[in-house]
Amino acid sequence: MSGGLLRPDRQALLELDELLHELEQLATAGGRARYDADAHYRWVIHRLWIAVGNEADAYATAVGDRHAQPWYSLVLLRNRLAHVRLPDIDEDEVWRMTTLRPGSLSKQVRGLLR
């Protein structure tokens, strides 16, 4: 990007937008059967949600409201994915989030980028 450094809130939103786009692409590149059978595919989705939670936390911190929604929920998801044993992850929740949430979150992020 030209013109110097971006504000931390804007940088986090741009990162979120890219990560959510990647999740949307992965959701359309496979289905639940692939998610259940392909450990690498599942791992990539987990890692992307952790990264989304990191950027949500960065955004919420930058704007001074760490408990605002949906950012706080994304941070909680990140914490669960990053700190629980793999067998204890609620894969139904992760798959639901992957197929249902990126689009609506992207709209919210893009609205804030305007």
For 10-56, what is each residue's pLDDT tens digit? 999 999 999 999 999 999 999 999 999 999 999 999 999 999 999 99
Residue 44's φ and ψ, nearest 5 degrees, are -60, -45
Q: Give yes or no for a contact between 13 and 59, defined as CB atoms under 8 angstroms apart.
A: yes
Report, as an integer, the average pLDDT of 46-73: 96
How many angstroms from the chain centroid is the CA of residue 62?
A: 17
pTM: 0.92
Residue 31's φ and ψ, nearest 5 degrees, are -130, -175
Contacts of 18 (CB under 8 A, 6+ apart): none
Q: How far apart are CA 11 and CA 14, in angstroms?
A: 5
pLDDT value, residue 1: 44
pLDDT value, residue 5: 76
Instruction: Provide the pLDDT confidence category of residue 3 given band limits of 50, 70 and 90.
Output: low
Spell out the domain ranges in the chain. 8-113
High-pLDDT (> 90) share of the chain, %: 93
